[in-house]
Amino acid sequence: MNKGTINQARNSGNVTIAVAAIGSLSILLVAGLALLGLLDRVNLLISSMASQGKAGEFPKSLPGWAEWLFVILLAFGISFAILGVAGTWRRVMLWLTALVLIAGWAPVLALAAHAPDIGGPWVATLWSGVCALVYAGNHRMPCDAPSKKPPSDEAR
């Protein structure tokens, strides 16, 4: 089987419905982890890593609404970005770059004397990225359509 028949066998994907489903499920995952108290453990682990091994006491913390706003924006944003980019390698690099940038918030927040509570946004980005990569791998996305080249002068 050649590559052309594999791409034709995949179903067409819908970006809007996929982003809504992936983003919503990512937010539900983070909310569930927060209710179980596992998100606090993740934030404590990140805090101890940001303060070089000892769990530091930070005098300031981010408002709760700001953390959840980041969770919502990243859950929907990263899945929309991944499904809107052509090519698996680009999708994976976009996802990994987002994860590294979010992880980079921890030392910045620690230096600003804020508790680095980035566990929720990081988990949301991790999960929505994985789901978007799986969805894009199993569906033919609109951005993956072969480009139509203008007719050459020889064909006229």
pLDDT reading at 11 higher than 90 = no
Q: What is the DSSP letter of 151?
A: P
Lowest-confidence pick of 34-43, 46-55, 94-103: 46-55
- Average pLDDT, stretch 105-127? 88
- Average pLDDT, stretch 134-142? 82
**Residue among 113, 111, 27 at smallest CA distance from 71:** 27
- Better pLDDT: 156 or 108: 108
Structure tokens at 57: 């006491």
| Pairwise CA distance, residues 143 & 20, whole Å | 18
- Average pLDDT, stretch 80-96? 92
| Per-residue CA distances from 20 to 79, 89, 108, 125 (Å) | 9, 23, 31, 14
Domain boundaries, the chain: 14-143
Instruction: Kindly state the helix (H) or strand (E) to which residue 140 belongs, with its residue range.
Output: strand 139-140
pLDDT at site 94: 94
Backbone angles phi, psi at 12, to 5 degrees: -75, 140
Q: What is the DSSP letter of 11?
A: E
Which residues are within 8 A (CB) of 51 and not within 5 positions of it... i.e. 6 or more apart? 110
Which ranges constitute the DSSP H helices of the chain?
A: 3-9, 15-36, 38-50, 64-83, 88-103, 105-111, 119-138
State the pLDDT confidence band at 117, using cuts at 50, 70 and 90.
Answer: confident
